[in-house]
Amino acid sequence: MNNEPRAILIDTHCHLDFPEFNPDRPEVIQRAIAGGISNIINIGSSLEGSIKSVELSAQYDLIYATVGLHPHEADSFDENAKNTLEDLAKKDKVVAIGEIGLDYFKNYSQAQNQRATFMALVGLAKELNLPVVIHNRQAQVDTLKILKENMPVRAVIHCFSGDEHFLKECLALGFLISFTCNITYKKAENLRQLVKIAPLEKIMLETDAPFLSPQGLRGKRNEPANVKILAEEIAKIKGESPLKIAEVTTNNAKRFFNLK
């Protein structure tokens, strides 16, 4: 009989509401449970996705929801959208506003609309005393500017892809840093260096499923069970046991999202 303690993990950012999971969503969730995933934070990234995220959280005990509008959706943001998100944010098991932020890489929405949407939704989070899940891509300066103007804010920078300066700025503001399975990629040495620098007490784990499958599974759909691979990679980088990584990052997530 194996009496070794089992790693308990939380996937703090995935999109189980996306159509990629329509064929087998219950099976994906069962694999996560079997793999030691105690909770999944399903991230709203559009109005429709936020509604579905809340529905999933009501359907499955282990799933919590966030509601938000990805910067790609910012051109469609208006007072009606804000009111809808505010109503959703007051539902049971909604634990954050997000993902929100700026994306100057793809620019699917106009930059000024991205900034206005971001500011409005950070304001909503503060009104409701909820943390924020931040999307930042090639927009470090403006992301920091908006967040600094709204301090105090409880924030996690999801799928961290910034440089060392941005990392240190975020840590100095008390933000958490979330890494994804892309740290396993052969060409991701710069990200692995940032993992090494970031204090474990400030790190959370995420898959961003269905995106960013780990090395060896690239080209396939990612899913929450793969957060275990991420924990093992961080353990290797930091010279810690996977159990220690799981324990600390799970406690970080429970505190940040106020999970029961």
Q: What is the pLDDT of residues 174-203, one digit of tens each?
A: 999 999 999 999 999 999 999 999 999 999
Residue listed under structure tokens 């979330």: 178
Whether residue 5 has pLDDT greater than 80:
no
pLDDT of residue 4: 61
Q: What is the pLDDT of residues 217-254, one digit of tens each?
A: 999 999 999 999 999 999 999 999 999 999 999 999 99
Binning pLDDT at 50, 70 and 90, where does residue 1 land? very low
Q: What is the pLDDT of residues 110-169, one digit of tens each?
A: 999 999 999 999 999 999 999 999 999 999 999 999 999 999 999 999 999 999 999 999
Reference 98, options 53, 146, 162, 145; nearest CA is 53
Whether residue 60 has pLDDT greater than 60:
yes
The predicted model scores a pTM of 0.96
For the chain, give the mean pLDDT: 96
Question: What's the Cα-to-Cα distance from 169 to each of 36, 126, 175, 213, rounded to whole Å?
Answer: 33, 21, 9, 28
Domain residue ranges in the chain: 9-257
Fold classification of 9-257 (topology level): TIM Barrel (3.20.20)
Q: What is the pLDDT of residues 17-43, one digit of tens each?
A: 999 999 999 999 999 999 999 999 999
Class of residue 236 by CB neighbours under 10 A (exposed 0-12, middle 13-18, buried 19+): middle
**126 CB-near residues (< 8 Å, 6+ apart):** 150, 153
User: Rounded distance, CA 152 to CA 20, Å?
Assistant: 37
Q: What is the pLDDT of residues 87-104, one digit of tens each?
A: 999 999 999 999 999 999
Whether residue 172 has pLDDT greater than 60:
yes
Q: With residue 124 as reference, give the H or E element that holds it.
A: helix 111-128
Reference 211, options 1, 20, 6, 44; nearest CA is 20
